[in-house]
Amino acid sequence: MQILIVWDDLTPEWLDRIAAETGAQLLVSRNKQEAAAMIEHADVGLGFVPPSLLQEATAMQWLQTAYAGVEGVLAVPWGNPDMVLTNGSGIFGPNIAEQIVGMMITFTRGLHKARDAQKQHQWEWPYTFGELYGSHVGLLGYGDIGRETAKRLKAFGCQLTAIRRSPGKPDDWVDAVYPYTDLDDILPNLDFLVCSLPHTQFTEGLLPLRRLQMLPNHAVIVNVGRGSLLPEADLIKALETQEIGGAALDVTAVEPLPPSSRLWDLDNVILTPHNSGNTPYHVERGLDIFFANWRRFRRGEPLLNVVVPEVGY
């Protein structure tokens, strides 16, 4: 059994542990050239295997990615059409949820404007204050990130509504779960809309201007999923006309966001450069998933985090 590993952050100690726990031969690749030379021999792939090489992965039975959004893997031909693809869902929930809540509080407490005032040595606050407490938050997408966000927001006294593809029931954190088809009925009631959707045919352009206009004028949109959800011209228009209250964006339609984009300077926008996924626990949590799946793989059991290509995640 041979495992192709493309994951720069794995130290020799982690590689030793993978070798010990799997008993497999590790094909450790530090760049695309090395990976290209080894991929045809690999039974399993782990980490950041370049999608463009997958056509050569004729022996690969299973690919475990170290990230969540697999649209790049789904967009290319695979050398083994029966390969099982599993993603890194579960790695990023705590840190992305934390960044989401931090961006929401930035708006309620004016922390972005406080930062601007600090730079000017100004002890004043030309802005008003709100609270997460008592606000109604819609979670568009309710997977790992949505759940971790709901857990935290519940402690702030928010009312929480999940909006998701698959049917579901309220849990310990969300008060209600609705299907996407009810989205238009829910938008007018929200103070925040937190989006953690992957890029799929279905989610692309899901929030055009007409839906943004359904939100209350004070509502803030948070997007940590994929920028393709929000047509950028529509988003900018809704922000400029103050038909929505603001946007906290970790993702944009084009990344890096071009320096000329109007989003940079809008008064009601805060931007982070697609870094909410960064966490010091990336390797630890990613390998937890890999090891759990390795045991299932060896026993012939269904794997965790299996991506359904037709659905897109």
CB 91 → its own copies: shortest distance, Å?
Answer: 12
> Which residues contact its own copies (rule: CB under 8 A)?
94-95, 98-99, 101-103, 105-106, 108-112, 114-119, 121-125, 128-133, 151-152, 154-157, 255-257, 259, 261, 264, 270-273, 275-276, 278-281
Query: Given the complex with its own copies, which of 48 and 156 has the nearer CB atom?
Result: 156
Q: How far is the CB of 210 from its own copies (least distance, A)?
A: 28
Shortest Å, Cβ 268 to its own copies: 12
Q: Which of the residues 255, 262, 284, 295 is marked catalytic?
A: 255
Per the residue annotation, which of 147, 152, 164, 226 is the catalytic one?
226
Question: Which of the following is catalytic: 41, 109, 218, 274?
Answer: 274
Nearer to its own copies by Cβ, of 116 and 184: the residue is 116
CB of 26 to its own copies, least distance (A): 28
User: Among 174, 142, 180, which Cα is nearest to 159's?
Assistant: 174
Q: Which is nearer to its own copies, 41 or 151 (CB)?
A: 151
Give 196 or 200: the residue with its C-beta nearer to its own copies: 196
136 included as an active-site residue: no
Does 226 qualify as catalytic in the annotation?
Answer: yes
With residues binned 3-state (H G I as helix, E B as strand, rest as coil), the percentages for the chain, rounded to 5, are: 35, 15, 45
Q: Which residues contact 6 (CB under 8 A, 6 or more apart)?
A: 29, 35, 45, 46, 47, 48, 49, 50
Residue owning tokens 């045919």: 201
Mark out the alpha helices in 160-230 (DSSP H runs): 183-186, 209-212
β 136-140/25-28 pair status: unpaired
Strand extents, DSSP E, the chain: 2-6, 25-28, 44-47, 62-65, 84-86, 136-140, 159-164, 176-179, 192-195, 220-223, 246-249, 269-271
**Closest of 235, 252, 139 to residue 196, by C-alpha:** 139
Would you state the structure tokens that stand for residue 215, as one six-digit string?
């939100």
Rounded CA gap, 163 and 140, in Å? 5
Distance CA 149, CA 206 (A): 21
Least gap, CB of 96 to its own copies (angstroms): 10
Instruction: Give the residue with the Cβ less far from its own copies, 12 or 123.
Output: 123
Here the tokens at position 280 are 């010091």
Q: Which is nearer to its own copies, 94 or 312 (CB)?
A: 94
State in angstroms the smallest separation of the CB of 184 from its own copies.
28
* Cα 230 from Cα 188, distance rounded (Å): 17
Residues designated catalytic: 226, 255, 274
